[in-house]
Each structure stands twice: as C-alpha cells, then as structure tokens.
A and B are shown apart, each in its own frame.
Chain A
Amino acid sequence: MGGRTANGHPEWQLALPLGAFFVLFFIAPLAVLAAWSFYTATETHTLTLAQYARFLGDRFTLGILWNTLWLGFQATLVCLVFGYPLAWLALRLSPRWQAALLFVVILPILTSVVVRTFAWIVILGSQGVINKTLVAIGLIDTPLRLLYTETGVIMVLAQVQLPLMVLPIMATLMRVDRNLFDASASLGAGAWRTLWRVTLPLSLPGVVAGCILVYAACVTAFVTQTLIGGARLIYMPLYIYQQATGANDWPFAAAMSVVFMVAVLFVVYLLNLLGRTSKGQIYG
C-alpha cells in the first residue's frame, strides 16, 4: 500500500482517474438517491425519516421485501444445482470441447433477457411446449398453470442467470491442479468421495462468487419477475417502479431502494463470510 512508482509518486495516485469516474457516476447518484429518501412527497426542504418508518412499519411492504430475498435464495439454489454439473463437465472435456461448452454457456448472454423471457412464456404457457407435450402423452387432462406462479419465476430465473453461475465455477475448477484428483484416487477414494471431499471444497470460491452474482441478478430481475410473475406476484423491483412512476412518490421509492440495497448487500456479505470461513478449512 505504500509502494511508489518509478517517478517517485505514491502508487495509489494511479487509481485516481478511475476513482474520480467511479465517484462521479456511481457514488454521487447513490448519494442523491439517499438524499431523496429523506424528503416527503410534497416538500423537499426538511429531512425526515418518515419514508423509512412507512416502509419498515408496514407488514405488507416488509412481506414484499422478504418474498424478494427468499425468491433470490430459491432461484440461486436451483441455479447452483443445475450449474455445478455443467461446470464440472468442463474439467472432463478435451480443450476443443471445452471451448464449445464455453460458447454454449455464453450464448444466452448474447441475447436480450427480454427475448429469453418471452421465449419462456411460449414454453410455459397453457398452449406452450411443456403443456402440449404432457397433454399429448396423456399425463394430464388440463394444462398445468406454470406461468404467473412463483415456481415458474424460479425456473426461468435459474435458467436465465445460469451463465453467471457456470462461468466462475468453471474458471475456478480449471485452475485446480489435476494431480489432486489423481492423488485422491490413488489414496483409495471413489468418484463420489473425490467429488465431495476434494472437488467441492476446492471449487468453493467459484461457487461463492457465482452465488453472489446470481443472487444479486435474481432479486433485481425486473423483466423476468414481471413477465413471468404477472402483476399479482409483487416483488421489490416492480413495487419500487410503481411508486416511482405510477404514484410519482419519489421519496418513498428512494427509501425502498436504499433499504433493498442494504438488504441485498447484507446477504452478499453473509455469502462472502461463508466463502472465507470455508477457505480456511481447506488449507488449515
């Protein structure tokens, strides 16, 4: 931290341009948002905590916050269950197939999330692929209600955010020394034991990174939540949008945004903590 460049200036000064950019376009707008959260809807000269009291004192709004955080948790879990095997597969493939797998994983990110979500509407709808197939086979008589349910939202969120989970795990696993797996086998561990005692702990940093990315993306996924959930499943993004543009209540929307941001940061902090403690267990 106290290093110096060749000219003798302190090293940290090199970060000033980017730091200035960061402050101007990231910190300053956040500060303005926080300032707005202390006003009331009608007058903007006195500071008050009324908006926070309004949000935190109401069971309905707290319920929405909790539902959103819980939705993120469930979607991240499903994403992990499907994403980890995909990343693990990359270890077993030759370099050419690895590149192909990487391409297939990145491909969805190249299309807009709106397009992908609409594609899911076609798949999950009453006349959609899933229901038509199940009815044709004869497993069900009337189409299943998959759209506009929380299950549907979790499924679509997990698929849409899958690349964000797979890539960090893949990157971490590929850096692991291959000899470790051979060593484990030579010491008598079967495939499952190697997976549980060796592969999983070593990939934990990647898993934690993937979970953080996916969690943040899932709870703020306005498009997917509203298109698949409809207006009946209300989560924080839709609620903030309704208050900001529908009811024109900027202070309340700002207060909600701040509370939401703090809640998500707290979850991310917990996930980070989990990553750090488990790292100690591997090498300790």
Chain B
Amino acid sequence: MNKPNMNRRTLLAAGLGMGAAAALPTRLLAAENLVVATFPGTWNEAHSKVLAPYFKKRTGASVTQTIKLAHDQVSMLAAARGNPPFDVAIFDDPQVLDAVKQGLIVEYPKAKSPHFKELLPEYQDSWGPKISMQVIGIGYNPKRISTPPKSWEDLLNPKYKGRVGLTALNSQLGIAFLVELNRVNGGTVDNFDPAFKALKALLPNVGAIGANLGAYATLWQQEEIDIAPYNFNFVQTLKGRGVPVELAIPATGAVGWRTSFHLVKGAKAPDLAVQYIDSSLAADLQTALEQVPYNVIPTNGKVALTGEITRSLGKTHADLAKIRAVDWEKVNPQRGALIERFNREISK
C-alpha cells in the first residue's frame, strides 16, 4: 500500500474547511422551515401526511417534526428555556397547566388566526386551541374475543390469563386508565389505593407491559396481547394497517381529554407557527383528518361527525361533550409518585 500523501498542513486545512462549512448559516441554503412537536404513534403520521402538505400549500414552508410525548416536551422546553427546540408544542389537558405555570408557552394570538372562531366554544382556549379529543376504552382483538368486553372488570376474567396488556404510566393513556380504574373501584383523586388493589388483582392476567407507546403498538401487531386499555385514534390507525383490533367503550362510560396546539415562548418563527396551528383548525383539514385511518375527532363546529366516531363515540358534538374528563389539576402533581408506586407494586 502506498504511503498516504498527506502532511500536517493539508490535514489542518481540510479540518478548517469542514469546520467553516458546518458554521455556515443554513438559512441561506434551505427553504423556510418550521420545527413542530407531535406525538408518537399515529399522530406524527397524520401530521406529516395531511397537515404538513396542507401547510406547505398555504405558506410554501416545510415542516420538521420532533416526535415526543407531551410530558417529555414540557421537560425539554423547561430545560432549553429561552432557546426552544421547536416552535409549536402539542399538549394534552394536564400539560397545558404545567406549561402555563412554568411560563413555557404564550397566549395564542387569536387575531392572527382566522379559523379560531370556527371552533366550538369549549375548544377555544386562550392558551392554545383544542385540535381534538382523545378517548380511551378497552381495545380487544376481535379474532380471539368474539363478544366485545363491557366493563373494565372484564380485564380480570381468568380466560384472558397472560393475554392482557398494560402500558407504562409515562403516557397519558396509562394515567387516564389508572384514574378511571380508580374511580370505578370506588377511589377518588386523593386516594389511589383502590386502583392499585385492582391492578394487583389484574397482575396474573397481564401478559406484557409496554415501556412506551411504540412498544405497546408492537404488542398488538405481534398479537402478544388480546385485550388492553387503548386509545380510539391508535386503534383506528392500527385497524387501517390490517391489525385485528377494535375499541369497546365500557358501560361505565368513555374517558377522554383534549389535545391542543400551542405557540412556544421564544419561538424562532412565530408567524409561521401561528399559520401552522391555524391550518390545523380549518374545516377542510379537520375533515381530511377525520377520515380513515386517522379518525381524529374534529373540534371545528362546521365539521360533522362521520365514520367510526359516530359508531363508537357519539353522533353529535353534544354527545362528545358528555365524555368524562379527568381532574388533571389534582392528578398532575401526583404523577411522579404514581409512577414510583406503579414500579414498586407492579413490577416483578
């Protein structure tokens, strides 16, 4: 092999050149770009396949997604205060309280957002418009379970031994399920003992606990579990991919929370961010997201409820308003303690 013909000077010059290229302002090279946050699972698909192209048509700017759970977004924004890594945050009800308290988001500039007033009154929040509702129920595999389960107690049925799934409490699904399990077993937001007693009784049936929502979806796809608490939107998207899963609403009622977009404090492109959020409120976009396979519940008053939403959840917006909410103000501060308790009492 020939001796490489490079001396120290050439190497230093090459290194300097690479460093200079890396330091070039990328704005000069790229078209306008907006960095937004989105949820893992079906949400980032819905946003990249439907919302991003709609936004690009409207403004010509492209979108880069940061996929993070709501709670992780709050942590990230708090850690990077003053220099947020994304301009648009997506939160569920509980995170909005946290974010406002920590001063991470700014009030939504309604004046710059023409579609804002088309939302139903209960979804017009001054800190950020609600873009959808998420509802949880009992997910089940219709190939293995012929009659849909009617209540949360069905999870304890011995014939499902080793086939029940659970998800860790770091996601909203996990916490909402825990709160509802607590409620139907007689507990209140100040006392979670009934929930943990019920979970302990459920343990022999539990086949797997997914560490995150991605792993949880894999459990369904690989048919490792047959019955588990699940989210309406995720069920619809998995169904769209051919995975055998259906959602049953227990007789005790559906539980839900709202999801919203927010303008982050210190955003690098605030006008683009507002246009992005405003695009998500438009009637034609919400109708598009309402279609199979995303089935995102619309919040714009002009959009009628269609498809799977009417079959499982409610025929009109008034029906949806009746879905039970969780008292997040009381539950939120207990989150850390609940995760800790879950680890100690539930893990092997």
- Residues on A close to B: CB < 8 A? 60, 118, 121-122, 125-128, 145, 147-148, 226-227, 229-234, 238-239, 242-249
Tell me if B347 and A233 are in contact (CB < 8 A): yes
Q: Of B169, B170, B212, B222, which is within 8 A of A125 by CB?
A: B222
A120 to chain B, nearest CB (A): 11
**0/1 interface trace, chain B 194-227, chain A, CB 8 Å (1 if under):** 0000000000001111111001001000111000
A49 to chain B, nearest CB (A): 20
| B344 contacts partner chain A, Cβ-Cβ < 8 Å | yes
Chain B interface mostly = mixed
Tell me if A127 and B209 are in contact (CB < 8 A): no
Tell me if A147 and B208 are in contact (CB < 8 A): yes
Tell me if A230 and B222 are in contact (CB < 8 A): no
Instruction: Give bound CA distance, A17 to B222, whole Å.
Output: 51
Tell me if A234 and B347 are in contact (CB < 8 A): yes
**0/1 interface trace, chain B 238-254, chain A, CB 8 Å (1 if under):** 00000000000000000
Tell me if B339 and A227 are in contact (CB < 8 A): no
Tell me if A245 and B224 are in contact (CB < 8 A): no
Instruction: Give bound CA distance, A167 to B167, whole Å.
Output: 38
Instruction: Give bound CA distance, A227 to B168, whole Å.
Output: 12
Instruction: Give bound CA distance, A231 to B342, whole Å.
Output: 10
Q: Which of A147, A232, A243 has the most CB of B within 10 A?
A: A232
Given contacts A127-B222, A227-B218, A247-B337, 10 further A-B contacts (CB under 8 A): A121-B222, A128-B222, A232-B348, A233-B347, A242-B168, A242-B170, A245-B71, A246-B169, A246-B335, A247-B340
- Residues of chain B within 8 A of A244, CB atoms compared: 75
Instruction: Give bound CA distance, A244 to B79, whole Å.
Output: 11
Q: Of A231, A238, A248, which is within 8 A of B75 by CB?
A: A248
Tell me if A246 and B346 are in contact (CB < 8 A): no
Tell me if B209 and A121 are in contact (CB < 8 A): no
Q: A125-B224, A128-B222, A232-B347 are in contact. Are A242 and B208 (CB under 8 A)?
A: no
Instruction: Give bound CA distance, A242 to B72, whole Å.
Output: 10
Q: List 28 A-B contacts (CB under 8 A).
A: A121-B218, A126-B223, A127-B223, A147-B224, A148-B207, A226-B211, A226-B215, A227-B218, A229-B211, A230-B209, A230-B210, A230-B211, A230-B215, A231-B166, A231-B167, A231-B209, A231-B211, A232-B206, A232-B208, A232-B346, A232-B348, A233-B347, A242-B168, A244-B75, A246-B71, A246-B169, A246-B339, A248-B75
Tell me if A231 and B71 are in contact (CB < 8 A): no
Tell me if B343 and A239 are in contact (CB < 8 A): yes
- Residues of chain A within 8 A of B72, CB atoms compared: 245
Least CB separation from B212: chain A residue: A226
| B121 contacts partner chain A, Cβ-Cβ < 8 Å | no
